[in-house]
Amino acid sequence: MGTGPEVVTCGEAMLLMLAEPGVPLDRAEHFRRSIAGAESNVASGLARLGHRTRWLGRVGADPAGEAVLRQLRADGVDVSWAGVDPHAPTGLLLRDSHPQRGIDVQYYRAGSAASRLAPEHIRPEQLAGARVLHLSGITPMLSESAAEAVWRLVELARSAGIAISFDPNVRLKLGTPHEWMHSAGPLLREADLVLAGEDELELLLGGGADECARALLELGRTSAVVIKRRDHSATAVSEGGSWDQRAFAVRITDPVGAGDAFAAGWLSGWLRGEGPQRALAEAACVAALAVQTAADTDGLPTADVRDRALHAFLEGGDPVQR
């Protein structure tokens, strides 16, 4: 076992204030504190599954920033290269939680420390020894300098032979469809591993999702595309074929964070050399455990919990409760 990270992620981590379950955001009086952020969620998920992970990004020199870094450290994520910006605040996210209606999410991120990420904050040694660099489309949408930092990471990963994993994570509150096509579309084409929603592939590349997946494979850079379907099933496509995985039936408490949990589960399987079918099943299992709890990361499992739950799912029973 090495001492450096297997996986490096880079992006926005925010303080999350989550309203009491089931209460609309404008009526909520009680909130609990947690953290949120696509890349930091994946880093936490992989760390709990036993992988060495590092998160790159910037937080403010404020209590929210310290809370974010403290939680990531507690999950086992290396934050030694995280920047603390004395001139900008940590981003804030307010949301409610409900299993059967749309979630109300309010972002307070304009001028945040995360948006001030820039190429000069990225160094080759931050990636030393890593096998995977995981990115999302959110970070380059935060600012021009953040987009330049992401492309600096891509260049460094390419030169070091590190696989690039990319999840578009399209959020239309951050920009128009055209802006997302301009920002995330080129990153899709640079990725070795793509994890994208059916609707995201259609938006960013045009055409049907399966057609888009085949087009990415034909470009020669991408080795695997995982399509997250609208019905919550998933398909993995590579030159070796395609594999399907249904979603496991569970009682949903909070659906937010399912995609990041799925990404952590799938990347864990890939890192351990599991075949596509097993990696998909593990991804579906991690996502199913995540949506049974509140907040983005509460339900992210350890490897032994994942394995017991997956066995129960595949046997047709209830997953093991912790």
Is residue 5 predicted with pLDDT exceeding 50? yes
Q: Is the pLDDT of residue 316 over 90?
A: no
> Which residues sit opposite 84 in a β-bridge?
59
pLDDT band at 239 (very low <50, low <70, confident <90, very high): very high
**Mean pLDDT rounded to a whole number for the chain:** 94
Give me 78's structure tokens. Answer: 């290396």
CA dist., res. 201 & res. 227, Å (int): 8
Helix (H) or strand (E) holding 205: helix 198-205
pLDDT of residue 1: 47
Q: Which amino acid is at 283?
A: A
- At 256 the three-state DSSP class reads coil
DSSP structure class, residue 42: H
Name 159's Cβ contacts closer than 8 Å, sequence gap at least 6. Answer: none
List the 105-108 sheet strands across, edge first. 31-36, 14-19, 92-95, 105-108
Q: Could you tell me what percent of the chain has a pLDDT over 90?
A: 86
Two tokens, residue 98: 């409900």
Query: In the 8-state DSSP scheme, what is residue 318?
Result: P
Render pLDDT for 102-153 as a digit per residue (tens, 0 to 9).
778 999 999 999 999 999 999 999 999 999 999 999 999 999 999 999 999 9
Dihedral angle of Cα 75, 292, 267, 211, to the nearest 10 degrees: -150
Alpha helical stretches, state H, 206-249: 209-219
| pLDDT tens-digit readout, 244-261 | 999 999 998 888 899 999
Catalytic choice (78, 96, 167, 260) = 260
Confidence (pLDDT) at 2? 56
- Does residue 210 have an active-site annotation? no
Instruction: Decide if pLDDT at 188 tops 90.
Output: yes
Tokens matching residue 138: 């959110």
The sign of the CA dihedral 232, 272, 166, 212 is negative
d(CA 167, CA 206): 17
- Other C-beta atoms within 10 Å of 29: how many? 7
β-strand pairing of 193-197 with 105-108: unpaired
What's the mean pLDDT in 294-314?
94
The pLDDT of 270-288, averaged and rounded, is 97
Overall average pLDDT of the 9-38 stretch? 93
pLDDT score of 287: 97
